[in-house]
Amino acid sequence: MPNNDIEINTICSDLESSKFTLLSSAHDHNERAQSDRHVARKLPKIKIFGTGGTIASKGASSSHTAGYHVDLTIQELLESIPDISGVCDIDYEQICNVDSKEIDEDSLLKIYAGVSSALQNFDGIVITHGTDTMAETTFFIESTIDSGDVPIVFVGSMRPSTSVSADGPMNLYQAICIAADKQSRGRGVLVSLNDQISAGYYITKTNANSLDSFNVRQGYLGNFVNNEVHYYWPPVKPEVCHKFKLALLPTDDKDATKFTATSFPTVHVLYGHQTLSPELVRLVAQSCEGLVIATMGAGSLPSAVNDVVLELSIPIVYSKRSMDGMVPTANLPKQKSGKRSNIIASGFLNPEKSRILLQLCLFEKFGLSEIREVFKGAYGG
């Protein structure tokens, strides 16, 4: 029965030849629902970089947890984890494939360049890395890259891939889920290990063998439990972290990891102990542009060593060999004239992180006063 209440207007003069499809409001609703589901299916894009480490290693047998060697690529690692097709879309790249003891400045800068290029095109970044020097790489990346809201998640393992109850596959799966989770945005560099989410700036490896190998007293952020990401605090980055801008010039438009060679100033670390030789300190200082000493207690060294240090012209950071605590400026030896010396307190930074921070300061050609200001961020200076 015709409905005389409907007026049809058309630009076609031949009304009889014109064809129309009248859609009900229910059809419109279904179409919108399908469109909404399509939008909902849009998954975050995650970039995964492989660098090697125990997580990419094989042992002689399933019971061996030592004496293993790096042998797996990032592609092979991804084949061992649970299905993530409903979690995110991934793209992966092998930057290097080495034990983390072999990570050098060239490797660090390749990681830096890869992460920098991926920030513009991905919602999260995951980096597989050996645990032995992971704390140094995470500290370096946090100190040199402003990632905005994009989470950068480092992950490793304590057991090789061939071990009974290998922890690598689950750690990697969790790291990808953490990088893809909206709750991780705005938190900077993170570490996913042993169901725990930690701040990369603060982590320190404190056990050479245990699965629970990292101490993160200041940077314990949350947990991953049964496919759920739980954070205990709202998003925040380390306020004490000084950001350095590295001027790297790309040499290949198609490969962001190729850049102009850059060398950092040489900074050595000496370990303080009873009868530490003052002459050893003097000798080492001749071969570097900066020096870090892991002192006894909170800045304590033999008087003869302090006298030699005060004679040197290079910046020297007094750190600590103890795991916790800090070196305050009040404990630094002073010149007889009362003037500020070349010695800098590390605050709560351990020797290896103090080395990286001093190296970056020297790379930027900071003077002593500027270096002290940077270390003040870590409650030293």
pLDDT, tens digit, for every residue of 311-333? 999 999 999 999 899 999 999 99
Q: Are residues 224 and 348 in the same domain?
A: no
Nearest-5° Cα angle at 278, 274 to 279: 130
Q: Are residues 199 and 306 in the same domain?
A: no
pLDDT, tens digit, for every residue of 334-378? 888 877 799 999 999 999 999 999 999 999 999 999 999 999 999
Q: Are residues 287 and 144 in the same domain?
A: no
**Residue 297 has which token pair?**
């207690």
Distance CA 353, CA 347 (A): 11
Q: Tell me: is residue 275 an annotated ligand-binding position.
A: no
- Give the domain-ending residue among 231, 249, 284: 231
Q: Domain limits at 159? A: 45-231
**Residue 204 has which token pair?**
């320190």
| Range 237-240 contact pairs with CB under 8 angstroms and sequence separation of 24 or more | 237/142, 237/186, 237/187, 237/188, 238/142, 238/188, 238/199, 238/201, 238/202, 240/377, 240/378, 240/379
Which residues are annotated as catalytic? 54, 131
Q: Are residues 94 and 181 in the same domain?
A: yes
Q: Are residues 216 and 287 in the same domain?
A: no
**Residue 100 has which token pair?**
């983390």
- Residue 174 is inside which H or E element, if any? helix 168-180
Cβ burial 246-277 (10 Å sphere, 16+ → b, else e): bebeeeeeeebbebeeeeebebebbebeeebe
Q: How confident is the model at residue 216 (pLDDT cuts 50, 70, 90)?
A: confident
Q: Are 141 and 200 in contact (CB under 8 A)?
A: yes
Q: Are residues 61 and 202 in the same domain?
A: yes
DSSP E strand boundaries for the chain? 45-52, 57-58, 69-70, 89-98, 124-128, 152-155, 189-193, 196-199, 204-205, 214-215, 220-225, 228-231, 267-271, 290-295, 316-320, 343-345
| Mean pLDDT on 162-183 | 92
Q: Are residues 82 and 184 in the same domain?
A: yes
Distance CA 182, CA 18 (A): 50
Q: Is residue 16 part of a domain?
A: no
pLDDT of residue 99: 94
What global pTM score does this model have? 0.86
- Give the domain-ending residue among 172, 207, 231: 231
Q: Is residue 237 part of a domain?
A: no
- Can you spell out the DSSP letters for 273-321? -TT--HHHHHHHHTT-SEEEEEEBTTTB--HHHHHHHHH--S-EEEEES
In this prediction, what percent of the chain has a pLDDT beyond 70? 85
- Residue 20 is inside which H or E element, if any? none
Length of the chain (residues): 381
Q: Is residue 13 part of a domain?
A: no
pLDDT, tens digit, for every residue of 218-268? 889 999 999 999 999 999 999 899 999 887 655 555 555 555 556 899 999
Q: Is residue 7 part of a domain?
A: no
Q: Is residue 211 part of a domain?
A: yes
Q: Are residues 72 and 132 in the same domain?
A: yes
Q: Please enumerate in sequence order all residues whose Cβ is within 8 A of that of 286, keeping only pairs 6 or more positions apart, or say none.
A: none
Q: Are 370 and 362 in contact (CB under 8 A)?
A: no
Distance CA 138, CA 154 (A): 7
pLDDT of residue 151: 98
- Give the domain-ending residue among 231, 251, 278: 231
Q: Are residues 71 and 117 in the same domain?
A: yes
Residue 366, domain CATH: 3.40.50.40
Q: Tell me: is residue 198 an annotated ligand-binding position.
A: no
Distance CA 236, CA 163 (A): 36
**Residue from 150, 175, 217, 216 nearest 53 by CA:** 175
In this prediction, what percent of the chain has a pLDDT beyond 90? 70
Q: Are residues 279 and 223 in the same domain?
A: no
pLDDT at residue 22 greater than cutoff 90:
no
pLDDT at residue 11 greater than cutoff 60:
no
Q: Please enumerate in sequence order all residues whose Cβ is within 8 A of that of 97, keeping only pairs 6 or more positions apart, or say none.
A: 50, 51, 52, 56, 70, 73
**Residue from 353, 286, 351, 338 nearest 313 by CA:** 286
**Residue from 203, 213, 9, 250 nearest 109 by CA:** 250
Q: Tell me: is residue 100 an annotated ligand-binding position.
A: yes
The number of distinct structural domains making up the chain is 2
Q: Are residues 214 and 116 in the same domain?
A: yes
Q: Is residue 20 part of a domain?
A: no
Distance CA 229, CA 192 (A): 11
Residue 51, domain CATH: 3.40.50.1170
Q: Is residue 108 part of a domain?
A: yes
Q: Is residue 172 part of a domain?
A: yes
